[in-house]
Amino acid sequence: MLVYLALIARPKERARFEELYTRYGGLMHHVAMGILGNEKDAEDAVHEAFLAMSRHMNKVGEVGDPRTKAYVVTIAQRKAIDLCRQRTRRPVTHLEEAGLGLTTVHETDNGLARCMLKLPDRDRQFVLLKFDQGYTTKEIADMMGLTLSAAYKVEQRAKARLETLCREEGLL
């Protein structure tokens, strides 16, 4: 945690970051594990998320605020997805695995997760906030800076895209 705190200049922001770290670190790890399915990759994604937050503490609200929780979860999800995409483009083979003749697969076994990764960022974020985090459409509209009618349209399109992807994947 000292690495992150060294990046933060103000004592108040350091204290708020420590509270964020203790309160949401486990949740962020859980979210990253759900996407990546690998302990080490999940730790890397959470590390990247905390580095990003430490650089932009002015964007992070009060620790108990639901919007802050959504923001923290979204950062963890995006960093995990970025890492997943990076590993898919350039698979990593560890030396000890190469010596044993094992291969490393970084794709997830979860069909729904594969479908979610194929969604555009805004659609994926909306679906996760609505159905995973339990926010209402109105709350999501406020978080994303949308009108309520635009948020309903985003929800409708995101669900339709996800349904199409799930049908293509053979999940429905």
What is the tens place of the pLDDT at every residue in 119-162? 888 888 888 888 888 888 988 888 888 788 888 999 999 999 99
pTM for this entry: 0.50
Dmax over Cα atoms in the chain, in whole Å?
57
What pLDDT, on the 0 to 100 scale, is given for residue 14? 77
* pLDDT, tens digit (0-9, with 9 covering 90-100), for 40-64: 888 888 888 888 888 877 777 788 8
Q: What is the pLDDT of residues 93-114, one digit of tens each?
A: 443 433 333 333 445 567 888 8
Domains of the chain: 1-108 (1.10.1740), 109-172 (1.10.10.10)
Quote the CA–CA distance of 115 and 10 in Å, as a whole number: 41
pLDDT for residue 13 is more than 90: no
